[in-house]
Structure 1
Amino acid sequence: MAVPKRKTSKARRDKRRASAYQLSKVTLVECPQCHELKVPHRVCGSCGYYKGREVIKVEK
């Protein structure tokens, strides 16, 4: 039966496992009010609108 000659280092082990924990890319959609890119289901940071209503006041 094959036995490892040396202990696998933590760095080598973690490099091998790193591919399983890749983050997915952020989805961006266009804001219907100001046409800037924003994260879906969040208040737009540039105009302060969400679902057609002004939720926060944004200083320009």
Structure 2
Amino acid sequence: MANPKRRHSKSRRDKRRANWKLSLPGLVECPQCHSPKLPHRVCAECGYYKNREVIAVK
């Protein structure tokens, strides 16, 4: 296998690793209760999906 001929600096290594950060999930507003929720999923607050009650929330 090939081995590196010269050592890479710490800044060069860290520049490569700089893009491994997590991104926030894209949240949308629920049309029923206006709380943030993940798109294409049932709202955890009111239990509605596509203007229909899918689960009964207490």
TM-score (norm 2): 0.66
Q: Distance in 1 between matches of 2:6 and 2:17?
A: 24
Deviation per CA, 1:13-57, whole angstroms, max 9, x where unpaired? xx7454343222211111000011111111000000000000000
Match of 1:39 in 2: 38
User: Structure 1 pair 3/19, CA: closer, same or farther in 2 (3 Å)?
Assistant: closer
Structure 1: tracts of 5 or more residues without a match: 5-11
Q: Distance in 1 between matches of 2:30 and 2:6?
A: 58
The percent identity for this pair of structures is 55
Number of aligned residue pairs: give it.
Answer: 52
Which structure 1 residue ranges, 4+ long, deviate > 6 Å from structure 2? none
Match of 2:47 in 1: 48
1:3 deviates by 4.0
Structure 2: tracts of 5 or more residues without a match: none
Cα RMSD of the aligned pairs, angstroms, is: 2.8
